[in-house]
Amino acid sequence: MISMTLLIMAAGIGSRYGGLKQMDPVGEHNELIIDYSVFDAVKAGFTKVVFVIRRDIEEIFCDKFFNRIKQQIDARYVFQDIPKWRKKPLGTTSAIMAAKDIIDGPFCVINADDYYGRDAFMQIADFFKNSTDKQAMVAYKLCNTVSDFGTVSRGILSLDGNSNIVDIKEQIVIERNGNIVFMQNGAFIIAEPKLNASMNFFAFTPKIFELLEPIYAEFLDTIGEDMSKECFLPENVGRLIQEGKLSMRVLETQDKWMGVTYPPDKPDVVGKIKKMIDDGFYPSPLWK
């Protein structure tokens, strides 16, 4: 049986949320969004989980979450270091590179503050069982990933006729303003709501670390002391695809994404989690 690892990026500072959204409970017994992600991954057959966190949140991370989850699955965490001159992490490419020395097989990458749905994990698990040497992504429709309360950034996918990604463009400013719009060249343009968007739900083999290493090194060499620039994983995956160094398939899921980007997003997530509990999809408490 293939061993699959779930890599969860949990080092964000939550600047738009006003705090550690990855540590903010959404379940009836103080479960976090990542509790449900790990639960769904275990149901899909994942046997290991690695968390990427910041050093300064280690204590709260262990107290509120890790000490509980390590009783349920083989779990470890690593640190995403931040330069001393900067407050925020260097981005999602930096996050997965922090785990390169402890992952030696197929792995799936997700955000800590996004709910992806169990079917998405099932799709990734089936993909790994049939294609252990290839990469994939679970994509979501753009209209289902935009907050009602402010801007978001998403990687927008271009596909060929066989559901393979041919390009990923990172859109830094996307908002719902009657229509869904992108900021391009200082002006907003209307976006197609059914565009496929990346929510950082990737299926990788360890080959990805070797491919990303020179890109990340180039980023570190050119960032200077920029306080905000980030090394985005979708953008860099898109670059590797454009250069012919990587192929990636999009997987379809019937589940709906939900997440907490801004504080007013939370009640909707809490309500949807409660409905799934009431419908018997999740137990409460989640972990017996």
What structural domains does the chain harbor? 5-278 (3.90.550.10)
Inter-residue contact 8 to 51 (CB < 8 Å) = yes
pLDDT digits (tens, 9 = 90+) for 153-186: 888 999 999 999 999 988 888 888 778 888 877 7
User: Full-prediction pTM beyond 0.95?
Assistant: no
pLDDT tens string for the chain (288 positions)?
Answer: 678 999 999 998 777 776 788 899 999 999 999 999 999 999 999 999 999 999 999 999 999 999 999 999 999 999 999 988 888 899 999 999 999 999 999 999 999 999 999 999 999 999 998 876 789 999 998 988 888 898 888 889 999 999 999 999 888 888 887 788 888 777 788 888 888 998 999 999 999 999 999 999 999 999 988 888 999 999 999 999 999 999 999 997 878 889 898 899 999 999 999 999 999 999 999 998
- Residue by residue, DSSP assigns 166-214 as EEEEEEEEEEEESEEEEEETTEEEEPPTT-EEEEEEEEE-THHHHHHHH
Confidence at residue 6, expressed as pLDDT on a 0 to 100 scale: 98
Angle, helices 207-222 vs 233-242, to 10°: value is 110
